[in-house]
Structure 1
Amino acid sequence: MKRVSIVTLGCKTNQFESAGMAEALVKEGFRIVPFGDEADICVINTCTVTARTDAESRRLIRRAHRRNPSAVIVVTGCYAQLSPELFREFPGVSLIMGNSEKRDLVGLLREARETPTVRVSDISRERRADPLLLETFAEHTRAFLQVQNGCDSWCSYCIVPHVRGRSRSVSPHRALEGMRTFAARGFREVVLTGIHLGAYGLDLSPPSTLFDLVAQAERERIVPRLRLGSIEPTEIPDTLIQLLANADTLCPHLHIPLQSGDDRILPAMNRPYSAAFFREVVEKLATAVPGIFLGTDIIAGFPGETDEAFQNGYRFLESLPLAAFHVFPFSPRHGTPAATMPGRVPAHVIKERAEALRNLSAEKKKRFFEKFLGKELDVLLLEQEENGVLKGLSRNYIPVSIPCDAARINDEVKVRVTVVEKDFVLCTAVS
């Protein structure tokens, strides 16, 4: 039985696709082993959203070859889609696949030779969402379900439309069946994912929307907990806010990318809203859904970001009811408009601004967690740590540690928050 290791960088969609490749391999008699263990085949599912993820992808390819010099190395994902010829020069690489080719991994492995084989199609021609089939997930408690792929937004800094193609959605029937399959296999939480999740359904005939899909899942109560991935501020209608406010299964958690809080930078980014519009959306959510975890993305050092623009954005973030944010130092991506924009911010200034934003995020997260001291949360128990403590996740996305019987993994339990740490809370069981 051949051993395969898979390592994944980047977004939840990439994680879903890695799980799909793993499931297809297992069905063909392969055995999945942890990355770094001895393996006959190593799959690196890359990301190219920043120069840092490019570098990490290259590092993992070299590591795979050092650890398993005779293994077949497969490079796939967004970096492979963008720059396939680059990986021909890497020792040990036998197969380079684009994102669309992930569904054909088993067959392509049979073609792998010592001379690298490149199988990368023109993803801009893709018109159908055809995600890998997936019935289980290694975590056994939470599952990601890809319902959309691609993006039509063309933000000026972003390479993703080049490597993921146009926005395309699976049918509502297939999406709901995917949820039912995971529920039947015992998963307590399903996370809906996509490259541009808020555009779900708009390309279908007849058109549909993410709200329509989620509302149907809520009516049927398909899974105990349904969570949404990242969604744009312009794609959160009042109907979705009301659904969140009254939901039994839809979790009170949204990740809403901002990217900049300055109204001169937002148009340069090709972001179709103002800071005031973003404020209106998040404040409406915070009022309608008490306790909701609201996260965001922010780019530090976008071209033209003066000290004044940065301070505007910093104060704006301070004033918002956000629980935390991911900070990305600006990374020019070749082929995007932002890569050649004037007003490039020096690297040391970008680093300082990113650090200030991360510190602000840490402060806001701590304050958000402290709101729940002494209060009860419903927590899904995920896994046991080495010290015997169980890790869990609340419906509103608070990581929890709790002394509890390991037999209760995949149970949802009621806990009381007793201590707030940097990135999680300590709890005691109530039920």
Structure 2
Amino acid sequence: MEMETRKVAFYTLGCKLNFSETSAIGRQFEERGFRKVAFEDAADIYVINTCSVTDHADRKCRKVVKEALRHNPEAFVTIVGCYAQLKPQEIAEIPGVHAVLGAAEKFQLVDILAGFEKPAAGQPGQVYASPISEATEFHAAHSYGDRTRTFLKVQDGCDYSCSFCTIPLARGSSRSDSVQSVVARVQQLAETGVKEIVLTGVNLGDFGLQGPERERKEDFYDLVRALDEVTGIRRFRISSCEPNLLTDDIIRFVAGSKRFAPHFHIPLQSGSDKILGLMRRRYRRQLYADRVALIKQVMPHACIGVDVIVGFPGETAADFLETYQFLNDLDISYLHVFPYSERENTLAPTLPGRVQDRHRHERTTQLRGLSEKKKRFFYEQHVGLETEVLFEDDVTNGQMEGFTPNYIRVAAKYDPLLVGEMKTLRLVAVNPQNLMEAEEMGAEMLHH
């Protein structure tokens, strides 16, 4: 088959950062004359971008490989991403996997695998994974064409050593783009019609480390201020920022900003200082409460999302209750709740006080219930408000969805003219699916 007619398909597991990197790798293929197709279409090459944070990484990887080969049994299958860096040899043994690329290699995939030659029958996949210490370059990435919003990677890697986390092992040390380079990329995206950009990174607030010496010449506050001046973009969103790095300066700037959305996602992980210590987090609950209080003081409408891990080793029923009460009392909008799961080569599994799986499950269910209540209360506070909604291109049962600046998900009747558009609407009611219903201003008049 001629190289230029080859078709490539992608599947992404995990976070928004992975989505942006899959898009960047996809563009490299297209620049070489490959044609990008949907995963369910028969492709000649499948690239599966994996995650080490979500549970059952091995099982998910195997399942996606099997699906790819169901669509085309002759296809070449390559695995990249965090799980590929952590367990390259194991993944290479999965039937149907032809190549595994680590963190330093994934952005050279098209060059490394130039001929896409399969190993001999019965042989494991080829592994190209250098030690994580060699992943020192920053590779720019953004998602485009997949969603109305673009996920823009500005930072990679992490220098923190939380006791439950494998990300430093999978992605390496913290490193960043420069403010000047990010601004240039944002201006290019603005010219393509992108209206909202979500800034992503592994440890986004640590933005600014560059070069072989990893000097800090700039910081995240510098980036936020520079981006606020880029006229072509209507809305920026900060994806997730550690509470100790989300400074008062950043919060106050966003409050008066022209383009930054009043929406923060701030990982907490536990509302117990004892557990935060065991997790090796770099703050305690009082700092977290102070951040939330300041955000709500300067931006009463702000949406605040929270990551929580339950069932961490040593977490007693009393510790969990402390977390539950802390979250119940906080003026937050929703939770992402994860039952703790053991990760190889981390400190946490060696700690005493393993929590039984059924307790992990019960605690997860309780906090997810609290999240639903928090979210509904947050939505109901905004009924009657007039606000801008940016509509996505996902359509389900004749309904389309969009987001307000403060991340309220709005449902509306499908209208092709609304896709990718900003529309000022009035929020009227929260429906049984916990989506906000909206109408055009003066719509009551139109109905008469």
Q: Same fold, TM exceeding 0.5?
A: yes
Q: CA deviation at 1:403?
A: 2.7
**Closer/same/farther in 2, CA of residues 356 and 17 from structure 1, 3 Å limit:** same
Match in the other structure for 1:19: 23
Measure, in 1, the Cα distance between the counterparts of 2:104 and 2:193: 29
Find 1:85's aligned residue among 82, 85, 89: 89
Match in the other structure for 2:148: 141
1:427 maps to 2:434: no
Q: CA deviation at 1:387?
A: 3.8
Q: CA deviation at 1:46?
A: 0.4
Aligned partner of residue 219 in structure 1, secondary structure: coil
What pairs up with 1:225-244 in 2 under 5 angstroms? 225-244=235-254
1:150 maps to 2:161: no
- Unaligned runs of at least 5 residues, structure 2: 120-124, 443-448
**Percent of residue pairs identical:** 38
Match in the other structure for 2:382: 372
Q: CA deviation at 1:61?
A: 1.8
What pairs up with 1:122-271 in 2 under 5 angstroms? 122-132=131-141, 137-139=144-146, 141-203=148-210, 205=215, 207-271=217-281
Q: CA deviation at 1:82?
A: 0.4
Measure, in 1, the Cα distance between the counterparts of 2:46 and 2:312: 36
Match in the other structure for 1:409: 419
Farther-moved stretch of structure 1 (83-92 vs 326-335): 83-92
Measure, in 1, the Cα distance between the counterparts of 2:180 and 2:104: 22
Match in the other structure for 1:356: 366
Q: Which amino acid aligns with 2:438?
A: C
Match in the other structure for 1:308: 318
Measure, in 2, the Cα distance between the counterparts of 1:18 and 1:303: 34
Aligned partner of residue 233 in structure 1, secondary structure: coil
What pairs up with 1:273-292 in 2 under 5 angstroms? 273-292=283-302
Find 2:36's aligned residue among 23, 32, 57: 32
CA-atom RMSD, angstroms?
1.6
TM-score normalised to structure 2 length:
0.92
Match in the other structure for 1:318: 328
Measure, in 2, the Cα distance between the counterparts of 1:70 and 1:31: 17
- Unaligned runs of at least 5 residues, structure 1: none
**Closer/same/farther in 2, CA of residues 265 and 386 from structure 1, 3 Å limit:** closer
Measure, in 2, the Cα distance between the counterparts of 1:138 and 1:47: 22
Match in the other structure for 2:107: 103
**Closer/same/farther in 2, CA of residues 384 and 117 from structure 1, 3 Å limit:** closer
Q: CA deviation at 1:273?
A: 1.2
Measure, in 2, the Cα distance between the counterparts of 1:412 and 1:371: 22
Farther-moved stretch of structure 1 (374-383 vs 46-55): 46-55
Deviations 1:37-56, CA, capped at 9 Å, x for gaps: 21111111000114334432
Aligned partner of residue 258 in structure 1, secondary structure: strand
Find 2:12's aligned residue among 8, 23, 29: 8
Farther-moved stretch of structure 1 (110-119 vs 300-309): 110-119
Aligned partner of residue 306 in structure 2, secondary structure: strand
Aligned partner of residue 267 in structure 2, secondary structure: coil
Q: Which amino acid aligns with 1:173?
A: Q
Measure, in 2, the Cα distance between the counterparts of 1:227 and 1:285: 15
Aligned partner of residue 56 in structure 2, secondary structure: helix
TM-score normalised to structure 1 length:
0.96
Farther-moved stretch of structure 1 (194-203 vs 295-304): 194-203
